[in-house]
Amino acid sequence: MTPMGGHHYYGISALPVLGDLGSRPPLTLAGLREHVADLARPRALVDALLLFDDLVQHEAFLAGEVREVSPAVLTAAQVRNEEPLPQDLAGEASPPPRVAADATWAAYFRLAAQAAGRQGSRFLSAWVSYEVALRNALASARARALGLDPGPYLVTEELGGAEEDFSTLVSEWAAAPDPLAGLRVLDRARWAWLVAHDRWFTFADEEFAAYAAKLMLIVRWDRLSAESHGPG
């Protein structure tokens, strides 16, 4: 086992090379989690990231958008709402948010930020800030389009990156012809952010986090492509 903060030459080299967004995923998210099972710090970072995708699947299942789920951190029963989510995702908030799922997302982002702090992960901290800022920019745009005050629809504003300007991206997202096209606009922006931040990593613990975030997007894009094409 490599010591905390060390370099994982074999662990990183043994991972399959990731293609660009739109390529086939070379392994599953659960497979990546298994790959880092014996590496405490990388495992903590990878779990914090992959939980994001599990919650995306949870939300999609509850909305009736998907029928099959493939979680990496949660159980399939939790994602299908047949069992409760872990207590630390219960999402207790005061006052309660306008959208029930926002409490879960607020709890998740705080957990991920805490994991970043415990593990000293600049990447995970920056990723949380980016995702929170993006989520709130979209929530604000939706609320204003409906003539509503955006405030009650924002989550964990204190974690968002104040330096991010999503105005152009939100306009492109809003102009998309359908929800799937809009999601692809957002995921291309996410991918560009990940590519821009890859320069931080050289066989260190953080590289597993960057790999997990990229793989998560590739898997989601592949999943959406399969769903849009339907059976056969």
Note the pTM of the prediction, 2 decimals. 0.90
Q: What is the pLDDT of residue 204?
A: 75
| Mean residue pLDDT across the chain | 88
**Pick from 76-80, 189-193, 199-203: least confident:** 199-203
- Tell me the range of 2-6, 82-86, 224-228 where mean pLDDT is highest: 82-86
Tell which wins on pLDDT, 100 or 138. 138
Q: Flag whether pLDDT at 158 surpasses 50.
A: yes
Structure tokens at 193: 């952010």
Residue 204 bridge partners (DSSP)? 7
